[in-house]
């Protein structure tokens, strides 16, 4: 009997909550996103510099090559994000469209590998091979640290991210 009396109140509270939610999530501010990217990039440069313990001569030749490497990877990744956004927004994909997206994803990953191979050879000309190995480890360590910071800011417990559906 108590459940029946509280039902209208529950419906009212639920309705107020639903209707008070925005219809669409807020659009991210491009200027703030650019600032945030620059901040992350600065953190990454400091992190890698510290981990690699670059001499001034190594740093002078390494950073321009590394920046080109990152620019090429970012171009490939940007196109992948555009393709994936198109997939998420289009719920009526045909099998042919889906196959094309899969092929594009595989081709994109291959392009990334090709860029990595190309720059790996250049990195070995600039740095001792142990520092090249440390570079790759440092990039992964930085990603992990950045994800941990994001989890801390959002109040999530450390560890693997929650399962997505």
Q: Is residue 160 part of a domain?
A: no
Full residue range of the structural domain in which residue 93 is found: 35-153
Q: State the average pLDDT over residues 87-116.
A: 88
Q: Is residue 122 part of a domain?
A: yes
Q: Is residue 137 part of a domain?
A: yes
Whole-prediction pTM: 0.69
pLDDT in tens, 27-45: 667 678 888 889 999 999 9
Q: Is the pLDDT of residue 163 over 70?
A: no
Q: State the average pLDDT over residues 54-71.
A: 94
Residue predicted with more confidence, 95 or 69? 69
Q: What SS3 string covers the chain?
A: CHHHHHHHHHHHHHHHHHHHCCCCCCCCCHHHHHHHHHHHHHHHHHHHHHHHCCCHHHHHHHHHHHHHHHHHHHHHHHHHHHHHHHHHHCCCCCHHHHHHHHHHHHHHHHHHHHHHHHHHHHHHHHCCHHHHHHHHHHHHHHHHHHHHHHHHHCCCCCCCCCCCC
Count of domains observed in the chain: 1
pLDDT reported for residue 6: 52
Q: Is residue 59 part of a domain?
A: yes
Q: Is residue 10 part of a domain?
A: no
Q: Is residue 139 part of a domain?
A: yes
């Amino acid at each position: 009997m108590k459940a029946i009396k509280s039902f209208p109140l529950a419906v009212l509270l639920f309705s107020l909550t639903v209707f008070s939610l925005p219809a669409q999530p807020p659009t991210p501010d491009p200027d703030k996103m650019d600032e945030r990217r620059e901040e992350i990039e600065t953190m990454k440069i400091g992190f890698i510099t510290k981990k690699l313990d670059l001499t001034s001569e190594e740093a002078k030749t390494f950073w321009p090559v590394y920046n080109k490497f990152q620019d090429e990877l970012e171009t490939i990744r940007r196109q992948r994000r555009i393709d994936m956004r198109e997939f998420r927004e289009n719920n009526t994909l045909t099998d042919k469209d889906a196959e094309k997206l899969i092929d594009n994803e595989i081709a994109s990953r291959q392009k990334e590998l090709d860029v990595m191979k190309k720059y790996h050879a250049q990195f070995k000309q600039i740095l001792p091979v142990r520092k090249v190995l440390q570079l790759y480890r440092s990039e992964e360590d930085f990603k992990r640290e950045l994800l941990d910071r994001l989890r801390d800011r959002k109040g999530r417990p450390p560890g693997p991210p929650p399962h997505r559906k």
